[in-house]
Chains A and B, each alone.
Chain A
Amino acid sequence: MTVAAKRASRAAGRASRPRRTRPPRDAEYLLRLYVAGHTAKSLAALANLRRICEEHLAGRYQLEVVDLLENPALARGDQILALPALVRQLPPPVKKIIGDFSSAERVLVGLDLRPVARGGAR
């Protein structure tokens, strides 16, 4: 085995360890954003989220926006308490992120797009 091959396999192994809990790179993302009315906070959250998704999940995500003022009964299903809230329906497991998503780093951690150990998010 060549040195280059060894290095490549080591790099692959290192990368694959956190990837075991993470969805595959090409997984489809089904995201649901819960907001309450068209407040400044919910608009900011939506804008932030769209930007992050376009950047990291371009072409392989669906974003559904639920306005709880229109459908309050839906809050119960996903145990929504704090708003704005993003629920990752797919890929499993279900993940929840709350906030206005001003911190892209935390959103990526929450969506399992960036491993917690790397990237210095924490």
Chain B
Amino acid sequence: MPLPLARYLLRVPARQPRRTSRRRSIPQIGKAPTGIDGFDQITGGGLPCGRTTLVCGGAGCGKTLFGIQFLVNGAVKHGEAGVFVAFEETAEELGRNVGSLGFDLAGLVGKQLLAIDYIKVDRAEIEEAGEYDLEGLFVRLGHAIDSIGARRVVIDSLEALFSGFANEALLRAELRRLFGWLKDRGLTSVITGEQGDGALTRYGLEEYVSDCVISLDNRVADQVATRRLRIVKYRGAAHGSDEYPFLIDEHGFSVLPVTSLGLDYAVSSERVSTGLAELDAMFDGGGFYRGSSVLVSGTAGTGKSSLAAQFADARCRRGERVLYFALEESRSQVVRNMRSIGLDLEVWQRRKLLHIQAARPTVFGLEMHLVTMHKAVDQFRPHAVVIDPISSLISSGNAHEVKSMLVRLFDYLKTKQITCLVTSLSAGSGNEDTEIGISSLIDTWIQVRDLEFASERTRGLYLVKSRGMGHSNQVREFLITSRGISILPVVIGDAGVVTGSARATSASQLEDAARVRERDAARRQRELERKRGAIEAQIAAMRLQLEAEEDDSRAVDAAVHDREQRTADQHAALSHNRNRPRSPNGRRS
């Protein structure tokens, strides 16, 4: 029996019906969810359960908040009590600090879900006389943990110990003991540490924490600060290894995973109108797919915003909600400008179908933009989103960051089946390349451009691509009039499609030609008429002649007949006279 033997040698459990129970026996690292938006996604569930995690970073990067939120969410969402050991702030200070984020620490303490132990370390007060250890810390920690049955521990920040005790060797030994102790007790713990020069922490705490290390960072680039989080190590579990932007706002800590959403969203085959029947016709007659991402790119003044507004207007007309992010114009400016092309966005705003959110790109960092957009989408629950223009986001980040932000935004919108139309200013004329290089993220790409012909500028529009549907390959001229955008029919002149005044010239030429043709036809008709008249006259004359000849002929015949008659009569008379008896005179009568 070779198979069981091989199984035995390889220590592979034989396939048995009770496979699930066997599988359960394979030890795996459990995850303790932090409840921090996005963080649990990138770590596949949270922090390693029953292990110690080091959170390190510079001053003001959010280490303490991470710890607090880990405990508060654990208590509120998962019913796991937690102990916060504070070396830096008293319980009252902590409570006040996070009160603005809506965390009620005192309330949790009252409910026995949280214990805060403030440990004051002051070297000046303490005289060292001989050997000691940190058993007191263990006792206090153990007491706090046991008093509420804590499953989670945060120590912020352990490095304060290094300033409190002179004997660093002893301290290190005790720290090692502490981490072992925490692990033995199966506590999921978070240790914070200040960033050091060229090292993760100032006192090398990372040496002792081998399970999970998270680095927080607050970097300033071009005067815009961006917070980033990186999982330096996470033993025994797959994790996202990128630097993830995160932010701290009125709801606390949230991490924005780039790829957390993946590419497994459902798609719709429903079409939504572009707002222009002629443009719909270019998309196989239907318009965009619902939930697709649409890019309108072009150089300055080619009508990108107008197309976007036309789309928004069309959606609102159908009773759908549209969220319009104006990154270059104020709300009232958008409304005024679009009124000039006959779109009354004010009405839709009043009916709560349209929400215009205007913010300069430089007002905050990209991540903040992304999050405000996320939040606006969550609150307004739109059917369609317009961002005008995305190219200006470059000013608050580099192209790569903007791209990664847009990937996340598009992914998010796609999962919600929200159609997204964005505009982008492209640099050169007719340049089929967006500055941000997002073309690969885009399902449908409309390019608007100047058509220069015969010292004249007209607007042209064509479809670069449209995934999943047939689409026109024509460049169509369009006009922006006071009654909206109109896409003109294709006019083919002598040298292909003509636009602008050439279109007018071409039209008048055609008219002239038609007039000439008409005139010619009329003349030909008249000539034919004349010819017919002449021929008919000839026919009449000939007919008259024929009649005359017939008359003549009839007259001759009659004469001949008369003569013949007479001759016959004469003959008859003669024969009669010959046969009659003679009269006395001897004559015949």
Residues of A within 8 A of B (CB): 34, 36, 41, 45, 48, 68-69, 72-73, 75-76, 79-85, 94-103, 106-107, 109-110
Contact = CB atoms under 8 A, between A and B. Distances in A.
B125 interface: yes
A80 B395 CA distance: 53
Contact of B139 (A69, A98, A100, A107): A69
B134 interface: yes
5 contacts: A81-B136, A96-B125, A97-B126, A97-B128, A102-B131
Given A41-B133, A98-B132, A99-B132, A80 B140 contact: yes
A20 B140 CA distance: 36
B143 A81 contact: no
A100 B130 contact: yes
B573 interface: no
B475 interface: no
A99 B134 CA distance: 10
A96 B132 CA distance: 13
A83 B143 contact: no
Nearest to B120: A79
A83 B140 contact: no
**Most chain B C-beta atoms within 10 Å of own C-beta, residue among A34, A73, A76:** A76
B139 A36 contact: yes
Given A72-B142, A73-B143, A81-B119, A100 B131 contact: yes
A34 B132 CA distance: 12
A77 to B, nearest CB: 11
Contact of A68 (B127, B132, B133, B136): B136
Interface of B: 117, 119-121, 125-140, 142-143, 161, 164-165
A107 B127 CA distance: 8
A103 B136 contact: no
A101 B137 contact: no
A61 to B, nearest CB: 16
A36 B135 contact: yes
Contact of A99 (B128, B136, B164): B128
B128 A98 contact: yes
Contacts of A110: 127, 129
A82 to B, nearest CB: 5
Given A82-B126, A84-B132, 11 more contacts: A75-B136, A81-B164, A82-B134, A83-B133, A85-B132, A94-B125, A95-B125, A96-B125, A98-B128, A98-B129, A99-B132
Contact of A81 (B121, B129, B130): B121
A41 B170 CA distance: 15
Contact of B137 (A81, A99, A100): A81
B140 A102 contact: no
Nearest to A100: B130
B143 A107 contact: no
B164 A101 contact: no
A95 B129 CA distance: 13
A82 B132 contact: yes
A76 B127 contact: no
Closest 6 CB pairs of A and B: A99-B130, A110-B127, A72-B143, A106-B129, A102-B130, A99-B129
Contacts of B135: 36, 68, 82-83
B457 to A, nearest CB: 78
A99 to B, nearest CB: 3
Contacts of A75: 136, 139-140, 143
A95 B131 contact: no
A110 B119 CA distance: 21
A50 B574 CA distance: 209
A36 B143 CA distance: 13
A38 B131 CA distance: 16
